[in-house]
Chain A
Amino acid sequence: MNLIAVGLNYRTAPIELRERLAVPEGRLPEALARLKNWPRVTEGVILSTCNRVELYAVVKETELGSASLGEFMTTMASEVAAEQILPRLYYLEGQEAIRHLFRVAASLDSMIVGEPQILGQVKDAFEAALAHKSTGVVLNKVMKKAISVGKRVRSETGIAEHAVSVSYAAVELARKIFQNLSEQAVLLVGVGEMGKLAARHLIDAGVRQMMITNRNLDRAIDLAKRFNALPIPFHEFHHEMAGADIVVCATGADAYVIGPEDVQRALRSRGNRPMFLIDIGDPRNIDPAVGALDNAYLYNIDDLQGQVVMNLEQRRHEALRAEDIVGEEVPPLVRWMKTLDVVPTIMALRRKAEEIQRAEVERTLARLGPVSPRQRQLVESLAAAITNKLLHAPLVAIKAEADSPNGTLYAEIAQRLFNLEKELEAELPAEAGEELESPQQPLFRQEEESP
């Protein structure tokens, strides 16, 4: 039994291919059902986002299982030839698959390291798989652990702190001037792409009102409709500026559109309440002298970009700490998975012992003739005590060795020594795994010794 991961992401495949392979939410149930019944797969989870399509599965044999999963990937987009998909896939197994999943959940494998969505997407993928019963003991545990690692990384490192895009950096700055953006009004001067993007972020941040002005008023009106904003004629906007707490200036003008005297006037009529001015025009739209005015905070595109670069640098630094956390969390899970490998042997050995025990007890009781309940109980206890005591040491050894370099060697020896082939065929892995979830629980039933 082994955990494998097969998939492609933004590093290995172009967006067109990723889009085709992506499983929309509506088709996820069908895909999960297919994966569950796919040859060699015993458990499976599908993680599909715009940056990656990955399958996590539990298989009996790693190599055959990986090939089988690769084949499954080629069936996910019927119109794409297998030759286009197969070379772009990466195959991971065991420890590496676990590490990869943890890094994905921690947003260390993301295009923008630290971006917050991926953890939610991992959660959703797991929940969908749970709902469609395509997971079992192994993936349940692995996925839960991955989610908790993702959370731990977010709370213990600064990987997701601070803006890494210019627009978001502007919003972050606005939040350090105004505690409550929902009470602030924004004036957007110009309808250029960068300005629109910044305005969109401010709207998402919940600003109270948006005013839009442009030399060509029609375009301001168009955009105002889309943003649910108020269009303002260009020649009037200097007067409206007093009502704006945040001014985003992004015109293609060659000269300054806003000068210090404009801002001074606006500040006076708004009782010196601070103003945040963002100049994302190229060349500059706002006279830098504005930045020297009290209560006016002027940031231009270079300032914001500088901020982004610094934040990215910090994220990289925090990512190293996140990697350490992932490194800490992988080995315990790997150990748990190794003990899982010997569970069938342990179960089989136990079952065989119990069968022999039961048969011998019945035979002895039949020979004894009529016995009192007390006597019957004594005979049963005797038999149970002998098998349990005899099996205790080998069972503990098999489990302990699973985590050593010997691996399943001892389990295999036990299979030979006790001739367990028949019992192994009747194994029930799911049930066995559940038992191992709690390490305190004994591996075989310890019946009470009779007094």
Chain B
Amino acid sequence: MNVVFFKVTLLLYFLGTILFLTQLAGRSEGVVRVSFASAGIGFFFHTLALVSRMIEAGHIPLTTMHEALSFFSWALVLVFLVVELRYRTHILGSFILPLAFISLISAAALPTEIKALEPILRNVWMHVTLSLLGTVAFAVAFVAGLMYLIQEHLLKSKHLNVLYHKLPPLDFLDELNGRAILLGFPLLTLGIITGALFAEFARGSFLNWNAEQIGALGTWLFYLVVLLGRVTVGWRAKKAAYLTVVGFAGVIFTLVGVIVKGPHPLA
């Protein structure tokens, strides 16, 4: 059953992505409603897919890369829906939904079968959840940063077009960026700690310097610097936007590396 729900979700996110991208082009009250609806209904089916997969597997489905990406996509859409309902910044969907769709279609491309849970992996979901939620927060920071850079460019070049009217004010984007990192950093920290503890428990060593661990530590260090820079020396606004956009490229790079390399070192 979870496969059916998953496919429906994929279809709805695809539709939502297309609709949200067309919104960038012009005024479209009707399109806004339909695209929001497809994201909302898609999210509903996505939740069904995750829950039914959990029931079918008999454990929290966060042990394969397919499951991780699907969860990542789900959490992204959740964040979008919350921000949308709170702030009515429709255009956020034009950035987040494509990201969620890419993540979900990547999940679809990976092996989807449910794996029997090895006893050793019983508690790995905690590490995975925390790391993924941290990554979701960084993804939001990335989107906010990207929107900031676009809006800042439009304002500077005095090119006040349709996109300018649709993008939120600069300080809203900067605030969203800052908050997302402030939230994402502790999540990633906890994700890394639980991961290390788990590695110690499963393999007898906290750290064995594989590419994934180096990538994670590098990411952690990078966001630590970004966060400290904001608090201490005023790395906000344009600089923060740049850093988070570049930083997230690093995150994606790590993630793709892990996927290409094969299964998670623990899975």
Do B236 and A176 touch (CB < 8 A)? no
Closest Cβ of chain B: how far from A247's Cβ, in Å? 16
Pick from B27, B160, B238: contact of A295, CB under 8 Å: B238
Do A271 and B234 touch (CB < 8 A)? yes
The answer to the question of B7 belonging to the interface, with a C-beta cut-off of 8 Å to chain A, is no
The CB with the most chain B CB atoms within 10 A, among A158, A273, A310, is that of A273
Closest Cβ of chain B: how far from A210's Cβ, in Å? 19
Interface residues of B (CB under 8 A from A): 27, 151, 155-156, 158, 160, 164-165, 167-172, 234-239
Do B234 and A274 touch (CB < 8 A)? no
For the complex, give the distance between the alpha carbons of A307 and B155 in Å: 12
Pick from B169, B235, B237: contact of A176, CB under 8 Å: B169
The answer to the question of A297 belonging to the interface, with a C-beta cut-off of 8 Å to chain B, is yes
For the complex, give the distance between the alpha carbons of A177 and B173 in Å: 10
> A272-B239, A306-B158, A310-B160 given. 11 additional CB < 8 A pairs?
A162-B165, A175-B169, A176-B155, A176-B169, A178-B171, A180-B171, A268-B234, A272-B234, A274-B170, A274-B237, A295-B238
Do A272 and B236 touch (CB < 8 A)? yes
For the complex, give the distance between the alpha carbons of A303 and B235 in Å: 29
Q: Which residue of A lies closest to B175 (CB)?
A: A179
The answer to the question of A234 belonging to the interface, with a C-beta cut-off of 8 Å to chain B, is no
Do A299 and B27 touch (CB < 8 A)? no
A-B contact pairs, 16 of them (CB 8 A): A175-B169, A176-B151, A177-B171, A178-B169, A268-B234, A271-B234, A271-B236, A272-B235, A272-B236, A272-B237, A274-B171, A291-B156, A294-B237, A294-B239, A295-B238, A297-B156
Closest Cβ of chain A: how far from B229's Cβ, in Å? 11
**Residues in chain B near residue A178, CB distance under 8 A:** 169-171
**Residues in chain B near residue A303, CB distance under 8 A:** 158
Closest Cβ of chain B: how far from A206's Cβ, in Å? 15
**Residues in chain B near residue A273, CB distance under 8 A:** 171, 234, 236-237
Do B237 and A295 touch (CB < 8 A)? yes
The 7 tightest CB contacts between A and B, nearest first, are A271-B234, A179-B169, A179-B172, A272-B234, A295-B237, A177-B170, A294-B238
Q: Which residue of A lies closest to B155 (CB)?
A: A297
Please, what's the 1-or-0 string for A291-302, where 1 marks a CB less than 8 Å from any CB in chain B? 100110101000
Given contacts A271-B234, A295-B238, A297-B155, contact A177 B169 (CB under 8 A): yes
Do A299 and B158 touch (CB < 8 A)? yes
Q: Which residue of B lies closest to A304 (CB)?
A: B158
**Residues in chain A near residue B151, CB distance under 8 A:** 176
**Residues in chain B near residue A310, CB distance under 8 A:** 160
Do B160 and A307 touch (CB < 8 A)? yes
Closest Cβ of chain B: how far from A298's Cβ, in Å? 9
Closest Cβ of chain B: how far from A309's Cβ, in Å? 12
For the complex, give the distance between the alpha carbons of A329 and B168 in Å: 36
For the complex, give the distance between the alpha carbons of A103 and B164 in Å: 30
Closest Cβ of chain B: how far from A294's Cβ, in Å? 5
**Residues in chain B near residue A306, CB distance under 8 A:** 158
Closest Cβ of chain A: how far from B227's Cβ, in Å? 15
**Residues in chain B near residue A271, CB distance under 8 A:** 234, 236
Q: Which residue of B lies closest to A156 (CB)?
A: B29
Q: Which of A251-303 contact B (CB under 8 A)?
A: 268, 271-274, 291, 294-295, 297, 299, 303
**Residues in chain A near residue B238, CB distance under 8 A:** 272, 294-295
For the complex, give the distance between the alpha carbons of A291 and B152 in Å: 12
The CB with the most chain B CB atoms within 10 A, among A271, A291, A299, A303, is that of A271
Closest Cβ of chain B: how far from A400's Cβ, in Å? 37
For the complex, give the distance between the alpha carbons of A312 and B151 in Å: 23
For the complex, give the distance between the alpha carbons of A55 and B238 in Å: 57
Given contacts A176-B164, A272-B234, contact A158 B169 (CB under 8 A): no
The CB with the most chain B CB atoms within 10 A, among A173, A179, A306, is that of A179
Closest Cβ of chain A: how far from B124's Cβ, in Å? 41
Do B171 and A179 touch (CB < 8 A)? yes
Q: Which of A153-187 contact B (CB under 8 A)?
A: 158, 162, 173, 175-180
Closest Cβ of chain B: how far from A273's Cβ, in Å? 7
**Residues in chain B near residue A162, CB distance under 8 A:** 165
**Residues in chain A near residue B236, CB distance under 8 A:** 271-273
For the complex, give the distance between the alpha carbons of A271 and B160 in Å: 27
Q: Which residue of B lies closest to A268 (CB)?
A: B234
For the complex, give the distance between the alpha carbons of A162 and B27 in Å: 13
Q: Which residue of B lies closest to A270 (CB)?
A: B234
Closest Cβ of chain A: how far from B142's Cβ, in Å? 20
Q: Which residue of B lies closest to A157 (CB)?
A: B27
**Residues in chain A near residue B167, CB distance under 8 A:** 176
Q: Which of A51-77 contact B (CB under 8 A)?
A: none
Closest Cβ of chain A: how far from B174's Cβ, in Å? 8
For the complex, give the distance between the alpha carbons of A180 and B87 in Å: 13
For the complex, give the distance between the alpha carbons of A177 and B167 in Å: 10
For the complex, give the distance between the alpha carbons of A435 and B236 in Å: 67
For the complex, give the distance between the alpha carbons of A143 and B169 in Å: 39
